[in-house]
Structure 1
């Protein structure tokens, strides 16, 4: 098929891909996937919340926002030794990437950031790809993380630029792009995707993919999240995302960003094994695991359950020989 990486996509082109009959779309995506990746290999990533809750932002989907009354307990930044214990356990369980998330609006140059730098160094020394998601980031802060050994930085777009203000009022869409640009300038790989099920239209979903697919360098990692409906947040009563919407989103992302790792992220707890298999067929080649069967603060399948699914489907965890290839949410 000889698929080329393009950065000049038009919205109408991506919309036409997204709107195809489902089986034709999945066939095309699976064909592209096999051209660029080994379809039997799935990267297993572990995501740990190193600082939970108390965030000043008002993201409508997030139970960690301080203004919403949820059951999520605020937790200060974890001790470095504890984080490294989690990282070692993740590596022993087959993860090749370890992502640390802090519920901050932005990184501040203080002792907490110094501790995160130490965590990055420690996880890097274990031979894992190190990823962080810490909120907005300056170029100087990105350079500090890169020098400490950070491999990837996650900063999702969440949704389209035109729908963004319906979901978040405490920061602007352009600020997300600024952070992504700062990460790229520092030589860190980019992990950026979004969430479906926020009340957005299909056009919004396509617009979000267009923003990602027309970046000068595609994100090495594109997480596709289904809304995890957290009680106490404004979106708690949104309907469950239909599986075929997830499949369409993953397949379209695979076709327009063929070299990227497409991550089947939040929402797996509500998917059957058969539904997840469709996502893998459509081009997803990574999943997130979390200790205590959680993904940050929402339910997630356990590692043993995932390994059984891999066995049933003939899949295996991707083993990284080195950190040269390419990550909450």
Structure 2
């Protein structure tokens, strides 16, 4: 069984990341088989419960108030509407429902109270309920935990060195502090990043280094490819290749064996064969539905066809720690 390590060095991760691609995929697939069922992929749904008008300046984000994009600002959705969306997502096969709000930080007000009600409602459906609401205090994290929150997403986005090129309105340490507050509340941590924002390989390796040397690895690591949006500073960035996504997914799988590695934004540009390579390299989660917050996503019918062709089955909710070794999985 591959050892779980939190003392990775930049040089070790760089050597893995830059290894010959087919060798890298094989190694990642081997580690994946030790900790996960290779025929199982979790289907998640991400809903924007409060869209646009964000005071931050994240260069990739069409929800920032300072950029002129096609995103229409809307206030926090009614609780009943969110719970109906969660019900529809579950009926369509999702076992994890994530709610995103375009806030810089959570404030202790009526909107947060309503989010707590949403969390309680989704949790009652026996789905893994996740939120991404911006910065969070330890007390707020505890309130979310008490309401039944399963996971909290707070991405690092990129390396600490490249971070200031992307965001100036909050620091890297702010992000790490929120992750720490989530961990203290015993909520599952979901944290990854975005590639294709003008960073180099060393930045991608740096982000993976930070994640893999946390006291505990995130239980969930989303790997996103930038979806350039007109009106944002990164609108003209070229598309990330599938090979770059595979290197990120495979390296994440090798250095954080137990994590759910989520093939996230950018999947809409991939064909079935490219996605299959990502699954082979260790990805074991996707987001379903026509939107990822405000960006396009894959059609549910197309995803269903892919699952049938690749003989994949949806992972059940609340499966717990992925610590079972699947020694003899039919190939």
If the TM-score is normalised by the length of the shorter chain, which range does it land in? over 0.9
For the pair 1:295 / 2:274, whether they are aligned, the reply is no
Question: Equivalent residue for 2:130?
Answer: 131
Q: Answer with 271-280 or 248-257: which moved more.
A: 271-280
Question: Equivalent residue for 2:83?
Answer: 84
5 Å-filtered alignment, 1:24-43, equals 24-43=23-42
Question: Equivalent residue for 2:161?
Answer: 162
Q: Answer with 218-227 or 294-303: which moved more.
A: 294-303
Question: Equivalent residue for 2:182?
Answer: 183
For the pair 1:314 / 2:311, whether they are aligned, the reply is yes
> After TM superposition, what 4+ stretches of structure 1 lie above 6 angstroms from structure 2?
none
| CA positional deviation for 1:325 | 3.7
**Cα distance in 2, alignment partners of residues 323 and 102 from structure 1:** 26
Unaligned runs of 5+ in 2: 323-331
Question: Equivalent residue for 2:258?
Answer: 259
| CA positional deviation for 1:323 | 5.3
**Cα distance in 2, alignment partners of residues 77 and 106 from structure 1:** 14
Question: Equivalent residue for 1:73?
Answer: 72
| CA positional deviation for 1:324 | 2.6
Question: Equivalent residue for 2:328?
Answer: none
Unaligned runs of 5+ in 1: none
Secondary structure of the 2:180 match is: helix
Q: TM-score w.r.t. structure 1 length? A: 0.97
**Cα distance in 2, alignment partners of residues 303 and 76 from structure 1:** 27
**Cα distance in 1, alignment partners of residues 126 and 300 from structure 2:** 20
Cα deviation digits, residues 167-195 of structure 1 (max 9, x gap): 00001000000000000001101000000
**Cα distance in 2, alignment partners of residues 127 and 191 from structure 1:** 19
Secondary structure of the 1:100 match is: strand
**Cα distance in 2, alignment partners of residues 286 and 268 from structure 1:** 11
Secondary structure of the 2:97 match is: strand
Secondary structure of the 1:307 match is: helix
Q: TM-score w.r.t. structure 2 length? A: 0.96
Cα deviation digits, residues 134-165 of structure 1 (max 9, x gap): 00000000000000000000000000001000
